[in-house]
Amino acid sequence: MSFTENDIYQIESNDLTLTGIKNQIEIFETGIPFTNVSDAATLNNGIMPLNDSKIEAYVALFEAEKDKKSLLKFVPASGAATRMFKFLFKFVGEYNSNEQSLNSYINKNNLRELSLFMVGLEKFPFYNQVLELLKSNGIDYENLSNQEKVWHFAKAMLDENQLNFGNQPKGLLPFHDYKKNHISTAFEEHLYEAALYATSNGVAKLHFTISEVYEHRFTDEFKNIQNQVEENTGVTFDISFSYQQHSTDTIAVTLKNRPFRETDGTLLFRPSGHGALLKNLNTLEADIIFVKNIDNVVVYKYIDEVAKYKKVLAGILIELQTKAFEYLHKLDSEQINEGTLVAVENFLTHKLSIKISDEYKKYTDRYKIEYLKEKLNRPIRVCGMVKNEGEPGGGPFWVKDHKSNQSLQIVESAQINLKDPKQEDILKNATHFNPVDLVCGVKNYKGEKFDLENYVDHNAAFITEKTKNGKDLKALELPGLWNGSMAHWSTIFVEVPIITFNPVKTVNDLLKSPHQIK
């Protein structure tokens, strides 16, 4: 496949390489193999259950150790809020009150979401803000019919010349309505949360990955709330930001795997999904990194319960990491007895859920030591898992690679071959869901930072179909940050309660109790 000089200039101007682009096109042509799931991870089969005594012990361990370690909270926050309002964009663009009643429109289009939106209208945190805007626009809201009220309300929310919520970063939208006329954003709620579990020696460090165009908005928001949040928590906040790097963009192709071109003939590059954020994570320095999505927050009355389980996960990480480091130092020594090897084998099997290769028994002691060190000396992630209640997204599975080695992985349903009855059956029997609730150890036993790029399964990428300018195209997403990008980490799954998972995928999620004060 040939590229023009202009193409090559465009590729290099985007911090990409011609070789890399050709490799991406080859992936489109060959396709990406499905992930081979061998079993769903369930309680006591890859997922650690908790009880009161364990919870208490792990929280105590974390509290005792946290001031000896550097802590950081990493929050992917670059997404715009467009999908939150998808059904409202449809409603505002289509509905004509002169042609049909609102009820008939809802029934015809099966828009139960719109019915829920209408019923909960006054409970949304932006309710008064919208009414004030309508009043300033000369609209007599109180005397409108019900169907006119909801249409004008939604239009004021979404119109580019009004509140333009659909084109705002999700982290800066009004999320929670507190007393004394204070409306908090998800960004603010992450600060209060971090004060409870991501604080070491009185300082909470947070890193947000954002869209570059919104950095001034986030920094302004922090300036507005900093004094109040620090006064309320007694914690000093150290906030940093980064952007998804252009060097992680991928080329788009036609359905025939030829480079997709814009109307002016230039190549089309697209952001490659949250897997691109591995580069951002890889630059950060901390002993323990908490990872949590921007929209997964709660109002203040639930925050202690949520924070408790973050401490539990961090306590588990500290316990496992301490033991792993102890064994690695032993394996470095010249005199290693059979008892040490057996102890390490048991630790890998029973604590880190690592299935040791059948070939291992045939190895000499020298190669056994090398094998055990390689398995032990990896980044560690402890992942909270909630019971599956029908939410879309990834889940915990046992995965078998091309060498028949099995490991615990977070797998999206799109990675599984649903045309294979056995694979589909394993997916149907999955009991838990991944809420993106991770605590990560990214340093080795010598205190050196791992290069996280070395632990990626590049076969765990995604190919999706999109449209641009009315034309179909194929897009390539890098292995997801908590999917293939962490495939070769040591992985521990822990069952946590559903209260820890409160995402705002649609605007109606703000009506759920974890987002309501009353």
510 vs 22: CA distance, rounded Å: 44
Q: Which helix (H) or strand (E) holds 411?
A: strand 406-411
Range of the structural domain that residue 313 is part of: 31-47+70-81+266-515
**Is residue 40 located within the same domain as residue 110?**
no
Assess if residue 5 is contained within a domain. Answer: no
- What mean pLDDT do residues 330-355 have? 92
| 222, pLDDT greater than 90 | yes
- Binned at pLDDT 50, 70 and 90, residue 393 comes out as low
Assess if residue 6 is contained within a domain. Answer: no
Q: Which helix (H) or strand (E) holds 373?
A: helix 365-376
Assess if residue 253 is contained within a domain. Answer: no
The answer to whether 509 and 123 have CB atoms below 8 angstroms apart is no
> Quick one: pLDDT at residue 117?
96
> Quick one: pLDDT at residue 392?
61
**Is residue 39 located within the same domain as residue 124?**
no
- What mean pLDDT do residues 404-413 have? 92
**Is residue 76 located within the same domain as residue 105?**
no
Q: Considering its fold, how many domains does the chain have in total? A: 2
**Is residue 152 located within the same domain as residue 271?**
no
Place of tokens 């429109």: 105
**Is residue 358 located within the same domain as residue 470?**
yes
- What mean pLDDT do residues 443-464 have? 94
- Binned at pLDDT 50, 70 and 90, residue 37 comes out as very high
Closest CA to 353 of 62, 41, 54, 51: 41
The residues facing 206 across adjacent strands are: 73, 239
296 vs 308: CA distance, rounded Å: 15
**Is residue 270 located within the same domain as residue 328?**
yes
The residues facing 174 across adjacent strands are: 185
**Is residue 40 located within the same domain as residue 115?**
no
Write down the mean pLDDT value for the chain. Answer: 93
Tokens, residue 349: 């099997």
Of 120-129, 172-181, 316-325, which gets the smallest average pLDDT?
172-181
Assess if residue 225 is contained within a domain. Answer: no
Tokens, residue 108: 């015809």
The answer to whether 496 and 384 have CB atoms below 8 angstroms apart is yes
For residues 298, 303, 305 and 308, what is the CA-based torsion angle, rounded to 10 degrees? 120
| 208, pLDDT greater than 70 | yes
Assess if residue 217 is contained within a domain. Answer: no
Assess if residue 242 is contained within a domain. Answer: no
**Is residue 137 located within the same domain as residue 273?**
no
| Single residue among 125, 146, 167 that ends a domain in this structure | 167
| 194, pLDDT greater than 80 | yes
| 503, pLDDT greater than 70 | yes
**Is residue 43 located within the same domain as residue 106?**
no
| Single residue among 133, 167, 201 that ends a domain in this structure | 167
- Binned at pLDDT 50, 70 and 90, residue 394 comes out as confident
**What's the pLDDT tens digit per position in 58-111?**
999 999 999 999 999 999 998 788 989 999 999 999 988 888 889 899 988 888
CB-CB neighbours of 518 under 10 Å: 6
- What mean pLDDT do residues 14-26 have? 92
**Is residue 385 located within the same domain as residue 453?**
yes
- Binned at pLDDT 50, 70 and 90, residue 271 comes out as confident
- Binned at pLDDT 50, 70 and 90, residue 353 comes out as very high
- Binned at pLDDT 50, 70 and 90, residue 429 comes out as confident
Of 33-37, 403-407, 418-422, which gets the smallest average pLDDT?
403-407
Tokens, residue 6: 């202009």
**Is residue 286 located within the same domain as residue 156?**
no
Assess if residue 25 is contained within a domain. Answer: no
| Single residue among 135, 167, 199 that ends a domain in this structure | 167
Assess if residue 303 is contained within a domain. Answer: yes
The residues facing 208 across adjacent strands are: 75, 241
**Is residue 442 located within the same domain as residue 336?**
yes
**What's the pLDDT tens digit per position in 158-191?**
999 999 999 999 999 999 999 778 999 999 999 9
- Binned at pLDDT 50, 70 and 90, residue 516 comes out as very high
**What's the pLDDT tens digit per position in 131-151?**
999 999 999 999 988 889 999
